[in-house]
């Protein structure tokens, strides 16, 4: 069960209601900048995590000033479209509402999922979108992120290495994900959406000497259902 720290109380709450009722996720972005993109990315990851657990989700965007620019930037990062929250006041009978907000930003009623700011030396359009997504995933959502050329280069190199590795592992017979590894992945993302923890599991799987390559492939493909990094993109390409 995914549990999230409520920024109002500092206490963990269940992100999914009992009996898998509908969860509404509303992102309050307050303009278009890299922090707004990170906020939408966190909301996207919440949607993915809940859907992986079998919870129906209704994702909304509350943005009045620059919605078109924000939606375009989000699409480049592989963030799925959100409905316009301004037209959804009546609701759909959701059993849980999670408001994704900036640290020090909007204070809507209900559970608040706070996202720390991004300090970037360059606008996001100058970065490879997939590398930018990975760089934003590399720190917990409540910790500030400093994006510079080194951080983006490291993310780009990691993404390139993982995609080539996944393509290579796919040439071997498939093997099931070890129960221990699957449990570590879920324990990380269900603990307040600990994405650095998920990435840490993938790094261990990458170099573990006792795992068959087919199991590595299945592990990365499974984790990418949450991460959205298109890790299988190089499948079928020449080595």
**In CATH, what number is assigned to the domain containing residue 34?**
3.40.50
Cα distances (angstroms) measured from residue 91 to each of 4, 28, 108: 22, 16, 15
Task: Give the integer Cα–Cα distance in Å for 216 and 117.
Answer: 34
| Residue 188 in domain | yes
Say if residue 237's pLDDT is above 70: yes
| Residue 11 in domain | yes
Q: Residue 16 is part of which domain span?
A: 3-115
Residues 14 and 111 in one domain: yes
Task: Give the integer Cα–Cα distance in Å for 185 and 189.
Answer: 6
Residues 160 and 211 in one domain: yes
**Please, which pLDDT band fits residue 121 given cuts at 50, 70 and 90?**
low
Of 56, 91, 115, the domain-final residue:
115
Say if residue 174's pLDDT is above 80: yes
Of 96, 115, 134, the domain-final residue:
115
Q: Mean of the pLDDT values across residues 162-168?
A: 96
pLDDT for position 123: 53
Of 115, 133, 162, the domain-final residue:
115
Residues 20 and 69 in one domain: yes
Per-residue pLDDT reduced to its tens digit, 207-223: 999 999 999 999 999 99
Residues 106 and 199 in one domain: no
Residues 186 and 111 in one domain: no
pLDDT for position 124: 58
Say if residue 94's pLDDT is above 80: no
Task: Give the integer Cα–Cα distance in Å for 76 and 107.
Answer: 28
Residues 167 and 216 in one domain: yes
User: At a CB cut-off of 8 Å and minimum separation 6, what does 55 contact?
Assistant: 15, 16, 17, 20, 22, 23
pLDDT for position 239: 56
| Residue 94 in domain | yes
CATH assignment at residue 219: 1.20.120
> Domain count of the chain?
2
| Residue 215 in domain | yes
Q: Mean of the pLDDT values across residues 46-50?
A: 95
Residues 12 and 61 in one domain: yes
Give the largest Cα separation in the chain, rounded. 54
Residues 170 and 75 in one domain: no
| Residue 29 in domain | yes
């Amino acid at each position: 069960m995914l549990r999230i720290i409520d920024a109002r109380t500092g206490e963990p709450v269940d992100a999914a209601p009992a009996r898998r009722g509908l969860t509404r996720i509303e992102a309050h972005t307050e303009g278009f900048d890299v922090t707004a993109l990170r906020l939408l990315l966190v909301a996207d990851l919440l949607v993915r995590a809940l859907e992986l657990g079998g919870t129906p989700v209704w994702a909304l965007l509350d943005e009045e000033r620059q919605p078109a620019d924000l939606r375009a930037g989000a699409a480049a990062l592989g963030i799925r479209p959100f409905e316009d929250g301004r037209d959804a006041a009546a609701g759909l009978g959701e059993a849980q509402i999670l408001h994704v907000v900036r640290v020090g930003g909007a204070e809507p009623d209900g559970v608040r999922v706070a996202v720390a700011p991004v300090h970037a030396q360059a606008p996001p359009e100058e970065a490879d979108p997939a590398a930018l997504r990975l760089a934003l995933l590399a720190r917990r959502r409540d910790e500030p992120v400093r994006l510079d050329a080194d951080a983006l280069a490291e993310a780009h190199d990691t993404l390139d290495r993982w995609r080539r590795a996944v393509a290579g592992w796919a040439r071997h017979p498939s093997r099931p994900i070890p129960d221990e590894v699957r449990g570590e992945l879920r324990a990380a993302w269900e603990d307040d959406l600990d994405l650095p923890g998920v990435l840490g599991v993938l790094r261990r799987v990458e170099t573990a000497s006792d795992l068959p390559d087919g199991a590595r492939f299945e592990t990365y493909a499974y984790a990418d259902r949450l991460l959205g990094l298109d890790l299988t993109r190089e499948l079928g390409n020449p080595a």
